[in-house]
Structure 1
Amino acid sequence: MEKQTQIFGIRAIIEAINSEETLDKVFLQKGLHGELYSELETLIRTNSINLSYVPVEKLNRLTKGNHQGAVAQISPIAFHDLETLVLNVMESGKTPLFLLLDQLSDVRNFGAIIRTAECTGVNGIIIQKKGGAPVNGDTIKTSAGAVFKIPICKVDHIKDAVFHMQASGIKVIAATEKTDDTLYDVSFTEPCAIIMGSEDRGINPSILKVVDAKAKLPLLGEIESLNVSVACGAFLYEAVRQRLLK
């Protein structure tokens, strides 16, 4: 069941953070000051919670209550610990297949990817704490409920997850056009993690420098790229195809 996804008021949000409630994002009114407001800002930064400073009109649209200049979006799911998840999958005897999303921003793309990931047996999805799409009502709806069936982890930086995968014996494959190899030239039969980039920038260049392999989709038309959720589906089902034939 989907739980309440929004709270408002400075004290209420402070209490939520102190109670270890999982907050996806906090909106604070621009230009506010005061002891409680400063306390909330400090808590948000200490806990690496996604934060945006917005005009009061934005907050008024988000809630009809007395928001006191602060509105928070609560995640409807509990996030998993990356190290524990990887260890459990490795010990299960399954051939790991993970998905890393480098600051994907569109919630509908995010939801569609979660749905495809669940259908293709992905063991877990890793996202960054800041800069990516939240898990909200639109994500849940587009995922057709798959968001409740697949583990999702949050990390400070996607590169942290890359290094942890590699240290765990999991090959990291970047889906990028910056290579001569297509996804049909790369093996997905061994333990692996696929990285998909953001809609506008793709995968961060600093991450591309540390991956184990790169692969692209062959594009035969005039348009130079696919929607990221469609591209992700192609990569995941190529992994499924290879593993079924193994």
Structure 2
Amino acid sequence: MEKEEIIYGAHSVIEALKNEKAIEKILLNKGQRNEFYEEINQLAKKQQVKISFVPQVKFKKYEHLNHQEIIAFVSPIEFLDFEKTIEDILTKKDNPLFLVLDGVTDVRNLGSIIRTAECTGVDAIILPKNNSAGVNKDTVKTSAGAIYNIPICKVDHVHDALFYFQSSGIQLIAATEKTENYIYSQEISSKLALIMGDENKGISSSTLKQVDLKVKLPLLGNIESLNVSVACGALLYEIVRRRI
């Protein structure tokens, strides 16, 4: 099993935040406050790193470490700069394919999506810093290692990324049940970004207002929705089918 990388103790976590290390989450004891908590809070907020205030029992598994009830979980990958990554891809490819995940919060779904994205030739995956599944050992395992073979960027706001795509001539396609358009009957551009949302809430309404095209898959049974990773795979392979 892949070893979980953590940073522990107040000084180590503070230094990691100051050096903008790719931290996914920080655990702090909800029943305790000390001189370091405020500094960690401020640094984490600035970098949009999630802090979870948990009971003391959550630290029991780490009792062999001098953690001071302050533990940070480090991403197993380095996230790339969004604008530089997109520009590099656009200079090399006439038919780029991007995947934007707007609120996918399950780590295994994220891993499965990354695996399918790599298999279907997605050029980069874009995640929001907030309201997104963390990238941890479960994500890596579910992706079957594909996570190391595809660029992944984190952005402060999905809306800004979508505006950037549109200004670069990239069509925005949203997967949503709030449409009558099946993907099979729609014209799609050679340059596009597919947007997938949370499988319970879907894509946010503000994001839907921003896209160029809304599409869905037919559901012929009694279940009202597909798992987001399955739906993503079906849509990506429809795009692949058209390209080959």
SS at match of 1:35: coil
SS at match of 1:26: strand
Question: Kindly tell me: are residues 167 and 62 of structure 1, through their superposed partners in 2, closer, same or farther at Cα, counting changes over 3 Å?
Answer: farther
Aligned to 1:233: 233
Q: 2: CA distance between counterparts of 1:91 and 1:143?
A: 28
CA 1:55–1:232: 2 relative to 1, 3 Å: same
What are the ranges of 5 or more consecutive residues in structure 1 without an aligned counterpart? none
Corresponding residue number in structure 2 for 1:45: 45
When residues 3 and 90 of structure 1 are mapped into structure 2, their CA distance, relative to the original with a 3 A threshold, is: farther
Instruction: Give the structure 1 partner of residue 33 of structure 2.
Output: 33
Residue 90 of structure 1: aligned partner:
90
Q: Does 1:181 align with 2:178?
A: no
* Cα distance in 2 between the residues matched to 1:242 and 1:62: 51
Q: 1:35 to 1:94 in 2, by over 3 A?
A: same
Structure 2 unaligned runs (5+)?
Answer: none
Q: TM-score, normalised by structure 2?
A: 0.95
Take 2:190 and 2:132, find their aligned partners in 1: how far apart are those partners? 28
Residue matched to 2:205? 205
* CA RMSD in angstroms, aligned pairs only: 1.5
Q: Where does structure 1 differ by over 3 angstroms across 4 or more consecutive aligned residues?
A: 61-64
The number of residues matched between the two structures is 243
Q: Is the 8 A contact 2:171 2:189 kept in 1?
A: no
Spell out the pairing of 1:1-246 with structure 2 (5 A cutoff). 5-61=5-61, 64-244=64-244
- Residues in 2 aligned to 1:203 and 1:145: alpha-carbon distance in whole angstroms: 27
CA displacement 1:189-211 (0-9 Å, x = unmatched):
42000011112211011111111
Identity %: 51
Instruction: State the SS of the aligned residue for 1:101.
Output: strand
Structure 1's 193 and 20: CA in aligned 2 closer, same or farther, altered over 3 A? Answer: same
Encode CA deviations 1:30-84: one digit per residue, 9 max, x unaligned: 1432322211111111111122222222233466423212111101111111111
Query: 1:50 touches 1:131 (CA, 8 Å); kept in 2?
Result: no
Aligned AA for 2:67?
Answer: H
2:162 partner letter: V
Query: What is the one-letter code of the residue matched to 1:139?
Result: T
**Partners of 1:4 and 1:68 in 2: CA distance:** 19
1:125-179 Cα shifts (integer Å, max 9, x gaps): 0001122111111111110100000000001121121111111111110000000
3-state SS of the aligned residue for 2:36?
helix
Q: Distance in 2 between matches of 1:184 and 1:63?
A: 55
